[in-house]
């Protein structure tokens, strides 16, 4: 038994297939043309026929009622009266029929005998119903079968009664990337799998013996947000910007999270929707670690696998101000050197005096709720500079860095 290659014919030759030639009266047409599946794989159509004597044959595949629309197979005289035709050869024919005549490449020499008509319709296009992200990179996709084609030839020789079959597959985004199957065709209408690449397209094809029809593609991407704190070192009360970028242009929720130390829990600071860039601004920020989270987003035709940005640190220095209540005193009087610290922490400041060569310590000053008062006795006539030093201080679980106040001057007369 042989599978014979199709012969390319001109439109004129194909159109002449049913035209009897003068010699055709001497050639008896074949009869009893039958079609069946060659085996259970349903990949090959087996065609047989009867005829008187041994003759070369022409086998025509065509749309039923349109004999000039098909493909021709030639069977030599000494071959059996049968031919195997790949099912894929019928793709796009719809209602098909096979004709067998006596003849050669030059044309028919008998009338044509026809097989029963049979449907060769591909299945209806499936529709994606839902997609659910599982964990950080798992995906479950569900679909529903498309509308079944109308069977215009019930119980034809090639009909079969099996559930619709589906083939899930993906293609990595990039030029010339191939379709990769996920498993084998089967009746299930959902599939769960791990994301095969940061960016890929998923689709499912309904498959039958005649061909396949694919759904619209589902686009899946992994989000890798970036983050930056500006300025990285600031003073309490300054404006700090937390910015970053996202993959893609679709508006998605961005959640800014923070924690006071590497061992403390994360908590939500702000959340908003952004496109390819995001921005959060703060007045008087705390020194803490920041990161952003982009949650998973799933729809039937688009999926974003969420993720976290790298961790960045905001370093905040105490805002410290010092001043005398009265900046001019008479010799022998005592002056009040006030200090204000932001945030309003409880700590101990150090009052310092400029000796002309170096800073010397006057003494410690208790700070409560961000305010303290030191005392200075005016001894020497003239001008003397003072300042406050406040060491690193923990306030509400966050550590603020040490800071000096600007210089302030006491004049003694």
Task: Give the integer Cα–Cα distance in Å for 77 and 241.
Answer: 86
Is 80 exceeded by the pLDDT of residue 265? yes
Is 90 exceeded by the pLDDT of residue 397? no
State residue 242's pLDDT score: 94
State residue 2's pLDDT score: 39
Query: Is the peptide bond prior to 343 cis by the omega test (within 30 degrees of 0)?
Result: yes
State residue 4's pLDDT score: 45
318-412 homologous superfamily:
SOR catalytic domain (2.60.40.730)
| pLDDT > 70: percent of the chain | 93
Mean pLDDT of the chain, nearest integer: 89
Q: So where are the chain's domains? A: 6-119, 127-221, 224-316, 318-412
Identical topology for domains 6-119 and 318-412:
yes
Is 80 exceeded by the pLDDT of residue 82? yes
State residue 249's pLDDT score: 65
CATH code of domain 127-221: 2.60.40.10
6-119 homologous superfamily:
Immunoglobulins (2.60.40.10)
Distances (CA, A) of 404 to 68, 145, 235, 288, 339: 97, 73, 11, 21, 11
Is 80 exceeded by the pLDDT of residue 20? no
| pLDDT > 90: percent of the chain | 72
Residues 6+ apart with CB under 8 A from 154: none
Task: Give the integer Cα–Cα distance in Å for 400 and 372.
Answer: 18
Instruction: Identify which has the larger pLDDT, 116 or 283.
Output: 116
Is 50 exceeded by the pLDDT of residue 24? no
Task: Give the integer Cα–Cα distance in Å for 86 and 45.
Answer: 6
Average pLDDT over residues 82-105: 92
State residue 299's pLDDT score: 85
Q: Maximum distance among all alpha carbons in the chain? A: 145
**If pLDDT is split at 50, 70 and 90, which confidence band does 7 have?**
very low
User: Where would I find the H helices in 65-133?
Assistant: none
- The pairing of strands 297-299 and 267-274 is unpaired
CATH code of domain 224-316: 2.60.40.10
State residue 238's pLDDT score: 92
Instruction: Identify which has the larger pLDDT, 281 or 175.
Output: 281
State residue 69's pLDDT score: 67
């Amino acid at each position: 038994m042989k599978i014979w290659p199709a012969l390319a014919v001109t439109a004129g030759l194909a159109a002449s297939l049913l035209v009897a030639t003068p010699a055709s009266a001497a050639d008896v047409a074949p009869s009893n043309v039958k079609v069946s599946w060659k085996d259970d794989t349903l990949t090959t159509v087996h065609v047989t026929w009867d005829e008187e004597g041994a003759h070369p044959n022409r086998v025509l595949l065509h749309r039923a009622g349109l004999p000039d629309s098909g493909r021709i197979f030639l069977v030599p005289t000494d071959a059996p009266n049968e031919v195997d035709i790949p099912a894929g050869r019928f793709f796009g024919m719809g209602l098909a029929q096979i004709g067998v005549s006596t003849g050669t490449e030059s044309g028919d020499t008998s009338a044509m005998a026809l097989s029963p008509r049979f449907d060769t319709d591909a299945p209806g296009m499936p529709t994606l119903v839902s997609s659910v992200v599982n964990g950080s990179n798992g995906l479950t996709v569900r679909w529903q079968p498309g509308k079944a084609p109308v069977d215009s030839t019930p119980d034809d020789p090639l009909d079969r009664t099996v559930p619709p079959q589906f083939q899930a597959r993906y293609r990595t985004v990039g030029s010339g990337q191939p379709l990769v199957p996920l498993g084998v065709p089967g009746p299930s209408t959902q599939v769960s799998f791990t994301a095969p690449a940061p960016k890929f397209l998923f689709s499912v094809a309904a498959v039958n013996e005649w061909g396949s029809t694919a759904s619209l593609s589902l686009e899946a991407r992994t989000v890798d947000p970036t983050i930056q704190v500006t300025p990285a070192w600031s003073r309490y009360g300054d404006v700090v910007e937390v910015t970053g970028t996202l993959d893609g242009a679709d508006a998605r929720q961005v959640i800014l999270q923070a924690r006071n130390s590497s061992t403390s829990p994360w908590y939500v600071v702000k959340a908003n929707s952004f496109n390819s860039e995001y921005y959060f601004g703060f007045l008087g920020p705390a020194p803490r670690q920041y990161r952003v989270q982009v949650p998973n987003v799933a729809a039937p035709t688009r999926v974003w696998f969420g993720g976290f940005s790298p961790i960045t640190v905001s370093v905040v220095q105490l805002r410290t101000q010092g001043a005398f209540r009265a900046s001019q005193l008479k010799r022998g009087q005592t002056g009040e050197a006030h200090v204000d610290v932001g945030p309003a922490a409880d700590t101990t400041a150090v009052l310092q005096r400029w000796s002309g060569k170096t800073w010397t310590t006057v003494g410690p000053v208790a700070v409560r709720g961000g305010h303290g008062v030191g005392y200075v006795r005016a001894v020497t006539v003239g001008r003397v500079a003072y300042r406050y030093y406040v060491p690193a201080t923990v306030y509400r679980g966050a550590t603020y860095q040490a800071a000096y106040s600007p210089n302030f001057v006491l004049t003694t007369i």
